[in-house]
Structure 1
Amino acid sequence: MSTFTTRDGCPIEYREAGSGEQVLVLLHGWSQSQATFDHVVEPLAADRRVVTYDQRGHGRSGRPAGGARIATLAADLHDLLDHLGLERVDLLGHSMGASVLWSYLDTHGSNRVDRLVLLDQPSVCTRLPWMDAADAQAAGAILDMPGAEGFCRALLGEDSGAAREAFLRSMLSDDVPEDLVGWLLGENLAMDVDFGTRLLLDHVMQDWRDVLPRIDRPTLVVGGRSSHVDPASQEWIADRIPGSRLRVFGAEEGGSHFPFVEQPQTFVDELTGFLAR
């Protein structure tokens, strides 16, 4: 485990595995950590250098007073690439990590990107005031405005732990072993809930639809038939990214929100096939 400090003084924990000219950086989702990729790092690192890190406010990284914004997390990614001297990378974003990648591309462009993997994230999480019902359904919006507020209040309330556990379980298949659920929950609870709630609200209020047609790098869009994210929303994203590829995992393939945890080898096979093209 190594640490670097961002431009605004936040310590970020990161790990590296493997070697080679091809570099893959993995970004975890909201309330998780780089440890959620532990099931796939070793096989992925057989043919490339793999970098994972805890985004600020998560895992073992710093607990800053500010910066609870997707744009700040995108700036942290830029700082990490600078710190490691990486000029060309493949980027994978899971859940909120995909939103961080959209923000990074929007503000920094794609000059440092070889390939892009977007894993089970709607381009809009909440039905925003300028969206009608058809727009929200196509984009896969999970929440409405009262729902977003209600979830934030639950996270900050007396039953915060129960709310966080229920949310995690809603993203996993019913037959996931309890010890695995407990491990994921432990990583979830490492996130500072005050920072995390502010970040969540910023995350679910973003509208990334205008970024999609501007993505000019080979892109793999991944969804799951048994995910809480409507797989049709991932097809919608793939249709708007020029030349992108879509892969939707079936339930028997670990097709929840965490395919890389539930069926890691199936996920690795798909990912390495894409990265080898």
Structure 2
Amino acid sequence: MAATTGFITLPDNVRLAYTQTGPTSGPNIVFIPGWIQTAAQFHKQVTHFQTRFRVTTYDHRGHGDSDKPVFGYRVPRLAADLDALLEQLDLHAVTLVGHSMGASTIWAHWDLFPHTRVRKVVFIDQARSLTINPSWTAEERLLAGAAFTPEALFEMANKLAGPGGDEVRRGLAGRFYTENVDAAEFRWAEEQTAKAPARVAGAMMLGHALWDWGDVFPRFTVPVLVIAGKASIVPVESGQWIVDQVGPNARLVVFEKEEGGGHFTFVENPEKFNRVLEEFLDE
């Protein structure tokens, strides 16, 4: 099916690259990529859903084929970019599907902007906070999904932005997949992440990982699907915590390790992922 590609121009004159495919009368899905990921990495979802749905993908500022300014690398700014995309493309009754930092973008959008265009939301393998509050107990850290001490986070961000940033990025990538990931798919994904300059990778790591979105979840009023992986760096318990905070409007689906249950479930097991998402969309 033929795709429409183009750019929207944000109020700060940054251009975001987007692609749309599927029937214009179909229900709207917007896929939102994670940290230094690109829209192209949802290709297995686009191929599946474009027969019935109007599918929109886009690259964050600094990522993929979008402009790469020297400013704006904070999740609330990404939420404003998302809001501009929904408005300029005139999308309504949208299901937002966010992976990793893309989920945080949805949380910031819900926190800051009207919800009139949003019908359902999907959070793929994202912790409420990536940075440990020193006052938290071990259980609180687990339920938050936090992985970095504040010192370790700044050290990582500085390394990513520094001269050896590409090597640091490649080292991180290996932790995001299971050992069964297709080798060619993994190499291609690395090429996609390399489209984000080292300075963007470092700045966006800080602009993403420093936030704690715990107070947003009880305020969701639309159906919520949370997808987690048993072999992911994000603990499944943190996904259940999010579901518990949202309440009866939310549910958790867990991928076992042998089901491609790493950070990229939609890449490693697109058959199950697409089936689970389609069932949620049709409810």
TM-score by length of 2: 0.95
Question: Which 5+ residue runs of structure 1 have no aligned equivalent?
Answer: none
- The residue aligned with 1:204 is 209
- The residue aligned with 1:12 is 16
Q: How does 1:59-208 map to 2 (within 5 A)?
A: 59-129=64-134, 131-208=136-213
Question: Which 5+ residue runs of structure 2 have no aligned equivalent?
Answer: none
Which of residues 265, 271, 276 in structure 1 aligns to 2:271?
265
User: 1:242 Cα shift?
Assistant: 2.1
CA distance in 1, matches of 2:240, 2:11: 37
- The residue aligned with 2:6 is 2
Over aligned residue pairs, what C-alpha RMSD do you find? 1.2
Q: How many residues align?
A: 277
- The residue aligned with 1:275 is 281
After the TM superposition, which segments of 4 or more aligned residues of structure 1 sit over 4 Å from their partners?
none
Is 1:29 aligned to 2:34, yes or no?
yes
Of 97-106 and 186-195, deviating more is 186-195
- The residue aligned with 1:222 is 227
User: 1:178 Cα shift?
Assistant: 2.0
Q: Is the 8 A contact 2:37 2:64 kept in 1?
A: yes
**DSSP-derived class of the 1:13 partner:** strand
- The residue aligned with 2:55 is 50
Query: How big is each residue's C-alpha offset from its partner over 1:43-86, in whole Å with a ceiling of 9 and x where there is no partner?
Result: 11121101000010000000112111111110000110111111
CA distance in 1, matches of 2:29, 2:200: 27
Of 130-139 and 85-94, deviating more is 130-139
Q: Is the 8 A contact 1:102 1:208 kept in 2?
A: yes
Q: Is the 8 A contact 1:223 1:255 kept in 2?
A: yes
User: 1:129 Cα shift?
Assistant: 4.5
**DSSP-derived class of the 2:174 partner:** helix
Code of the residue aligned with 2:39 in structure 1: it is Q
Code of the residue aligned with 2:273 in structure 1: it is F
Which of residues 250, 256, 259 in structure 2 aligns to 1:250?
256
User: 1:153 Cα shift?
Assistant: 2.0
User: 1:21 Cα shift?
Assistant: 3.7
CA distance in 1, matches of 2:113, 2:160: 32
Task: Give the fraction of aligned pairs with identical amino acids, expressed as a percent.
Answer: 35
**DSSP-derived class of the 1:170 partner:** coil
Code of the residue aligned with 1:275 in structure 2: it is L
Of 88-97 and 191-200, deviating more is 191-200
